[in-house]
Amino acid sequence: MGYVLSAVARVLEQPTAWGAAWEMALLAGPLWAAALIGLLLGWAWRPRWAAGLVATADGDAAALAPVQLPFATLDFWKAQLPARLRAPLGYAVQQQEDDEAAAQGSSEMANEELAVGKDDLVNLWRLVEGRDGGPAWIKMMEKSLPNMTYQAWRRDAQTGPPQYQSSTIFENATPEEVRDFFGDDEFRMSNKWDDMLIYHKTLEECHTTGMMKVHWVRKFPFFCSDREYIIARRLWKLGGAYYCVTKGIQCSSIPRRNKPRRVDLYYSSWCIRAVESKRGNGGLTACEIILFHHEDMGIPYEIAKLGIRQGMWGCVKRIEPGLRAYQQARAAGEPASKSALMARINTKVGDNFVRSLESSNSDESEIVEAEEKPARNNVARFLVLGGAVALACTLDQGLLTKALIFGVARKFVGQRKPL
């Protein structure tokens, strides 16, 4: 406001009309330039329905697929609502679509090759043992609660999104309890320890291998649209540990929609094993879960890394109270959910398989400590990111893309040292 008042004062102080016009041009010029640049970039990234309108007006509609005017459709108007208001409206229809897909999928499971196989187990085992030959892991944080210890690492792959590794140790917990807890989608939603999960549906399941195909919708922060996942997961028991591979797969029975946005590249796999308690009692009374996770959320990687780093501990510290509530519910005799029962079906792997893996030649991955970053570099990043978030909040009506906002923010952040 002070800048505007001073600019108006400079205009009024000019002795001639030409001087006043020049001052007004200096004031309005940058605003018009920003508006024109935004218009040009926004038009370059225009939605498909806008391209269809222009093609129809120019008589070129025959060169494009038939485009239905969206203004009379419910999906169009739901897309204009903020993300936090879309969930109550959107998933009743999704439930009906998934019921139809599940009816088709049960018969397809027996005919299709397993989406998660032994090669996935080998890859996860090598990740756990640090023999995958990937880049070095950089330590991000180490936090603890009275009954939980947490460590996290990150590394940047040559291609694809950043990769994360974490180790969480729960005191007074067994591998079987933790296995059922993480596989229980119903409890995730009812207890809300994973408050990002707002919808889940089992599409296919195999009672021989325990493999499941699951449809998830996860809530993202208010300036982003929700994300949709079609994932397959399967468990193996290797020695005294459980290995679970979860990854994104293709699913032709559920059509893609503009919102929620489907995430194709998704990998979230873990190893659960009994470990010695941090309290030094000498017994294997604690349980460790080693998680490897990466996904392409459709957000610039630098913005995603900054957001994950700032919000990671806030999400992780809700897991421990959720696990204790789950233990209490099982102790009280509450029946296990269907997804938890499916998590108990796993494939046993013999010792010969482990010995063959140990004898194979694989490069080891290092773990290094993260270097401390100068505080002044992070201040500029927070200013840029905060401005991008604030601007995205004002435009979260579905009419203007947020790609321009975060793209510009990434350019400014990228000029400094990477996170």
The DSSP annotation for 96-130 comes to HHHHHHHHHHHHHHHHSPPSS-HHHHHHHHHHHHT
The amino acid that residue 370 corresponds to is: A
Residue 369 banded pLDDT, cuts 50, 70, 90: low
Digit-coded pLDDT (tens) for 244-256: 999 999 998 899 9
> Using CA atoms, how far apart are residues 179 and 23, in angstroms rounded to an integer?
68
| DSSP code at position 263 | -
DSSP state, residue 384: H
- In this predicted structure, the answer to whether residue 163 has a pLDDT above a threshold of 90 is yes
In angstroms, rounded to a whole number, what is the distance separating the alpha carbons of residues 202 and 317? Answer: 27
pLDDT at 42 over 80: no
Tell me the CB-side half-sphere exposure of residue 241, using CA atoms within 13 A: 19
pLDDT(32) > 80: no
| Site of tokens 């079987």 | 176
**Whether residue 80 has pLDDT greater than 60:** no
Q: 283 or 373: which carries more pLDDT confidence?
A: 283
Cβ contact 216:327 at 8 Å = no
Would the pLDDT of 405 be above 90? no
Tokens of 303: 């913005």
In angstroms, how far apart are the furthest CA atoms of the chain? 93
pLDDT at 419: 42
CA nearest neighbour of 378 among 317, 309, 313, 296: 309
pLDDT in tens, 110-149: 444 578 999 999 999 999 999 998 999 999 999 999 999 9
Question: 37 or 213: which carries more pLDDT confidence?
Answer: 213
Task: Name residue 348's amino acid.
Answer: K
**pLDDT(60) > 50:** no
Name every residue whose Cβ is closer than 8 Å to that of residue 32 and which is 6 or more positions away in sequence: none
With H, G, I as helix, E, B as strand and everything else as coil, classify residue 144. strand
Which residues have a Cβ under 8 Å from the Cβ of 142 and sit 6 or more positions away?
A: 149, 150, 151, 152
pLDDT over 70 at 83, yes or no: no
- pLDDT of 332 over the 90 cut: yes
The CA distance from 245 to 197, in Å, is 19
Please, what is the Cα angle at 135 between 131 and 138, to 5 degrees? Answer: 105
Higher-scoring residue by pLDDT: 109, 122: 122
Contacting residues for 212 by C-beta, under 8 A, at least 6 apart: 202, 204, 205, 206, 232, 233, 234, 339, 342
Segments of 156-312 assigned E as strands: 163-171, 197-205, 212-218, 227-238, 241-248, 261-262, 266-275, 286-295
Other Cβ atoms within 10 Å of 115 Cβ, number: 22
Q: How far apart are CA 384 and CA 392, in angstroms?
A: 12
Residue 333's Cβ-side half-sphere holds a number of Cα atoms within 13 Å equal to: 0
pTM of the predicted protein model: 0.65
Q: What is the mean pLDDT of residues 193-219?
A: 94
Q: Examine the pLDDT at 361 and tell me if it is beyond 70.
A: no
> Would the pLDDT of 298 be above 60?
yes
* Count of C-beta atoms within a 10 Å radius of residue 330: 15
* One-letter amino acid for residue 18 of the chain: W
Amino acid (1-letter code) at residue 5: L
Quote the pLDDT of residue 51.
47
What's the whole-number average pLDDT of the chain? 77
Task: Indicate if the alpha-carbon torsion angle 106, 255, 307, 128 is positive or negative.
Answer: positive
User: What is the Cα–Cα distance from 367 to 317, expressed in whole angstroms?
Assistant: 23
- pLDDT at position 59 over 60: no
How far, CA to CA in Å, does 177 sit from each of 18, 136, 316?
Answer: 79, 32, 18
pLDDT of 166 above 90 = yes
- Among the ranges 110-119, 176-185, 278-287, 376-385, which has the highest mean pLDDT value? 176-185
Token output for 69 = 């005017």
Beta-bridge mates of residue 137: 367
